[in-house]
Structure 1
Amino acid sequence: MSEWIYFIHSPREHFAETMTAEEQRVWGEHAALLERRLADGSLILAGPTLGAVNTGICVFTAADEEAARRYMAEDPTISSGIARGELRPFVAAFVRGAR
């Protein structure tokens, strides 16, 4: 298994403060998916950046790039078309308490 990160690029500035009801519903589905992924052990960490630009990050493990792309594509924020996903290989080189 290798580590990957995907970024969730929201559609506009101040997105968290201006979400429509539909966007809130999709983000609720996103949160439920992240809870399941945390429970199954594939999710390492996830969360939003704060401020005017709300970019989400999701660090996870996957067998290969194809599996990582599927993992990202299954996220409702991306599959809905509301947000744009950006996938990159990742290495958690420095982790507090891991040494």
Structure 2
Amino acid sequence: MRELTEEEAYQALAFTEKLVVGLGSLGRQYSDNDDDLAWALLAMFTPKLVNEAAQVRGMLYRKYSTEVREGEESDEADQLLENLAYWKPPTPKQLARFRQNRQKKQG
């Protein structure tokens, strides 16, 4: 098992804490105003936030990344994540249906 250094653990925990608390705050503050929530989310997800997420991901990924040996198809990190269900943005049709349902609830 690979261990994080104290600094790496702090960095990962701090980023996760900021993200979860920030999203929770936005959800509570704009729970009844989807338009403001959408703008707040857009303001929150700045390139700085995305870069910080990428740094934490890279740090964690490196703990499991190994060179691909001859005859192997992927490294250990890829194998660990091969069944990960990634979030996919809604299609325009799904988004329109979601918006319509939310407007009915708010209306």
Give TM-score scaled by structure 1 length. Answer: 0.30
- Point out the structure with the larger helix share: 2
Higher RCO (CA-CA < 8 Å; seq separation 6+)? 1
Largest Rg, 1 or 2: 2
